[in-house]
Amino acid sequence: QKEVEQNSGPLSVPEGAIASLNCTYSDRGSQSFFWYRQYSGKSPELIMFIYSNGDKEDGRFTAQLNKASQYVSLLIRDSQPSDSATYLCAVLLSGSARQLTFGSGTQLTVLP
């Protein structure tokens, strides 16, 4: 079992819809969770991080964390074609000497 798992997709949603991206992790002691966006051929850029159970909102983005179920999700409201990218989930695993472990990413396409 991979330590951080994401559905590779591709996930397609129509413009204006809500895109839902999911990530599960194996280490119950993990404390910090990050979502990065990566356009093709470009470097990952941070969207948001979350530490506490529940929801955290930033503009059109909402991160949701459920430590009991060991999943973290990212919702993108009012999806735009410019949101088309690969979304990487990263987890700071407990005892990892503060290294982030990345999932393999979910490719999102927003259709105009």
Partner 1 sequence: DADVTQTPRNRITKTGKRIMLECSQTKGHDRMYWYRQDPGLGLRLIYYSFDVKDINKGEISDGYSVSRQAQAKFSLSLESAIPNQTALYFCATSDLPGAGADTQYFGPGTRLTVL
Binding residues (CB under 8 A) for partner 1: these are 8, 32, 34, 41-46, 49, 51, 88, 90, 92, 97-100, 102-105
- DSSP string computed for 39-65: -TTS--EEEEEE-SSEEEEETTEEEEE
Q: With respect to partner 1, which residue has the nearer C-beta, 15 or 51? A: 51
Q: With respect to partner 1, which residue has the nearer C-beta, 88 or 110? A: 88
CA distance 70 to 64: 11
Q: With respect to partner 1, which residue has the nearer C-beta, 78 or 94? A: 94
